[in-house]
């Protein structure tokens, strides 16, 4: 059976970098608090010409350039996002038009921060059934438009950006080996983007800004460590792989303390966990593909390496995915 293999990666971050010191001017916070409690120092915030689909398209073009594949050869575009350019059409359709992938069908998925991992699992099912397919999978967010900039509990955490991969089928044992994905809709209220006005149009007023992110951070924190640990251990057991065989863990980048706890519980040394959180903050569905691209460009992913992904986000949604690079 054909496995889905990543043929190329790309990413795009907005030009503007916002430091913790700048946030000190906006809300009651400090560089010291944000650094020690989250590990975040900077985040990139989108400006003119950096709409969600424009960041996504730039990341896609970079991934295509690595592979030498032309946009017209792409059969399917999936964009994982919780901050789409519009509710309709999908951000994926905007990307299609922007890059000229005229032969692709295109749609978005929303599994919050787990979106890219869910998307990789989905793309891998397509390729198992139709090995000739070339799939462009993107995680892309402009969360700055959906953050309440007066809420210090959340506004210091998030950033904008996009990461893309091109998938094809492998002719050897490389590719996506398996995944363990989960959701818990009963706990939706722990992390969501809502407002009473968005649920009831009668309540809307003239300067309505739409739904904004809110989160019970400490509860999410506890669940994230436990659920990701469980999803990783279960997947490795199912695949008959030990932690010693894992070359690198690329986790969703939300909080340095979550990643430290997870790493310790999994018994992984620091050098086998990829972390770039301090530069970008939490970019939700974009965090893993941005990290994958960076790890790839740094030479940290070598042919044949076992690469483990794990993620956790609103929904709740979480999971793990194992692939041979
Ligand atoms: O991507 C999806 C998954 N998301 C996550 O995994 C995020 C998970 N959660 C977290 O990363 C952490 O819970 C946070 C970073 C959000 C918060 O850290 P915490 O250690 O759980 O702090 P807390 O929410 O328990 O708040 C501790 C204190 C509170 O003050 P009081 O009530 O003790 O007086 C907060 O009001 O820290 C206060 N606080 C802040 N202080 C300065 C919250 N945000 C800030 C801030 N600056 N930005």
For 99-138, how does the pLDDT look when each residue is reduced to its tens digit (9 = 90+)?
A: 999 999 999 999 999 999 999 999 999 999 999 999 999 9
Mind giving me the DSSP string for 20-72? HHHHHTTSS--HHHHHHHH---EEEE--TT--HHHHHHHHHHHHHHHHT--GG
234 and 94 inside one domain:
no
pLDDT bracket for residue 237 (50, 70, 90)? very high
Least confident residue range of 16-30, 197-211, 243-257: 197-211
- For ligand 1, atom 19, name the residue with the nearest CA: 218
pLDDT bracket for residue 296 (50, 70, 90)? very high
Give the number of the atom of ligand 1 that is nearest the alpha carbon of residue 313: 2
Contact criterion met (CB below 8 Å) for 155 and 25? no
98 and 186 inside one domain:
no
Q: Which of 172, 196, 223 is the last residue before a domain boundary?
A: 172
Give the number of the atom of ligand 1 that is nearest the alpha carbon of residue 38: 15
Q: Which of 143, 172, 201 is the last residue before a domain boundary?
A: 172
- Is the predicted pLDDT of residue 292 greater than 80, yes or no? yes
Write out the residue range of the structural domain in which residue 61 sits: 4-172
Assign 3-class secondary structure to 169-200: ECCCCCEEEEEEEEECHHHHHHEEEECHHHHC
Q: How far apart are CA 185 and CA 183, in angstroms?
A: 6
155 and 180 inside one domain:
no
The confidence score (pLDDT) of residue 171 equals 85
The confidence score (pLDDT) of residue 194 equals 84
185 and 313 inside one domain:
yes
The confidence score (pLDDT) of residue 1 equals 80
The confidence score (pLDDT) of residue 316 equals 97
The confidence score (pLDDT) of residue 305 equals 97
The confidence score (pLDDT) of residue 59 equals 98
93 and 211 inside one domain:
no
238-288 pLDDT, tens digit per residue, is 999 999 999 999 999 999 999 999 999 999 999 999 999 999 999 999 999
CA distances from 289 to 161, 193, 233, 243 (A): 10, 22, 22, 22
Q: Which of 153, 172, 191 is the last residue before a domain boundary?
A: 172
Q: Give the binding-site residues of ligand 1, using a 6 Å CB cut-off.
A: 29, 33-34, 37-38, 113, 152-153, 156, 191, 217-218, 220-221, 224, 254-255, 258, 282, 312-313
34 and 115 inside one domain:
yes
166 and 236 inside one domain:
no
The confidence score (pLDDT) of residue 57 equals 98
61 and 130 inside one domain:
yes
186 and 97 inside one domain:
no
Contact criterion met (CB below 8 Å) for 210 and 195? yes
Kindly list the catalytic residues. 113, 252, 282
63 and 206 inside one domain:
no
**DSSP-assigned beta bridge partners for residue 79:** 108, 138
CATH number, residue 204? 3.40.47.10
The confidence score (pLDDT) of residue 164 equals 98
185 and 143 inside one domain:
no
- Is the predicted pLDDT of residue 323 greater than 90, yes or no? yes
- Is the predicted pLDDT of residue 227 greater than 90, yes or no? yes
- Is the predicted pLDDT of residue 208 greater than 80, yes or no? no
- Is the predicted pLDDT of residue 201 greater than 80, yes or no? no
Best residue among 37, 113, 214 to mutate for probing ligand 1's pocket (most ligand atoms within 8 Å of CB) is 37
How many domains, in total, are found in the chain?
A: 2
191 and 282 inside one domain:
yes
Least confident residue range of 7-11, 182-186, 215-219, 235-239: 215-219
Q: What's the rounded mean pLDDT across residues 277-303?
A: 98
Q: What's the rounded mean pLDDT across residues 206-215?
A: 83
Going from the Cα of 194 to the center of ligand 1, the distance in angstroms, rounded, reads 19
Half-sphere exposure at residue 271, Cβ-oriented, CA atoms within 13 angstroms: 2
**DSSP-assigned beta bridge partners for residue 120:** none
**DSSP-assigned beta bridge partners for residue 141:** 161
Q: Return the C-alpha torsion angle 262, 21, 12, 89, nearest 10.
A: 90
Provide the token pair at 245.
């065989």
Cβ burial of 108 (10 Å; 0-12, 13-18, 19+) is: buried
Provide the token pair at 310.
């794990």
37-83 pLDDT, tens digit per residue, is 999 999 999 999 999 999 999 999 999 999 999 999 999 999 999 99
Residues in the chain: 325
Q: What is the CA radius of gyration of the chain?
A: 19
The confidence score (pLDDT) of residue 211 equals 85
């Amino acid at each position: 059976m054909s496995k889905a293999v990543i043929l190329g990666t790309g990413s795009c971050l907005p030009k503007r970098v916002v430091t913790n010191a700048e946030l000190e001017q906006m809300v009651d916070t400090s560089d010291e608090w944000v650094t020690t409690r989250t590990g975040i120092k900077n985040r990139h915030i989108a400006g003119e010409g950096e709409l969600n689909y424009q960041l996504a398209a730039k990341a896609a073009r970079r991934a295509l350039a690595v592979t030498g594949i032309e946009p017209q050869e792409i059969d399917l575009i999936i964009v994982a996002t919780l901050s789409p350019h519009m509710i309709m059409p999908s951000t994926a359709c905007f990307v299609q038009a922007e890059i000229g992938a005229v032969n692709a069908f295109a749609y978005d998925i929303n599994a919050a921060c787990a979106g890219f991992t869910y998307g990789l699992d989905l793309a891998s099912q397509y390729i198992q059934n139709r090995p000739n397919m070339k799939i462009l999978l993107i995680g892309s967010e402009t969360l700055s438009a959906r953050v309440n900039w007066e809420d210090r509990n959340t506004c210091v955490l998030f950033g904008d950006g996009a990461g893309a991969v091109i998938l094809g089928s492998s002719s050897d044992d490389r590719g996506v080996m398996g995944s363990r994905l989960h959701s818990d809709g009963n706990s939706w209220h722990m992390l969501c983007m809502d407002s009473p006005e968005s649920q009831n149009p009668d309540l809307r007023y003239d300067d309505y800004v739409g739904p904004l992110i809110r989160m019970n951070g400490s509860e999410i924190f506890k669940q994230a460590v436990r659920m990701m640990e469980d999803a990783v251990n279960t997947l490795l057991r199912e695949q008959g792989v030990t932690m010693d065989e894992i070359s690198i863990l690329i986790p969703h980048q939300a909080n340095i303390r979550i990643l430290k706890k997870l790493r310790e519980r999994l018994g992984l040394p620091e050098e086998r966990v990829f972390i770039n959180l301090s530069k970008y903050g939490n970019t939700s569905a974009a965090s893993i593909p941005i990290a994958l691209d960076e790890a790839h460009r740094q030479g940290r992913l070598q042919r044949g390496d076992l690469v483990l992904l794990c993620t956790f986000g609103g929904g709740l949604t979480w999971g793990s995915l194992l692939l041979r690079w």
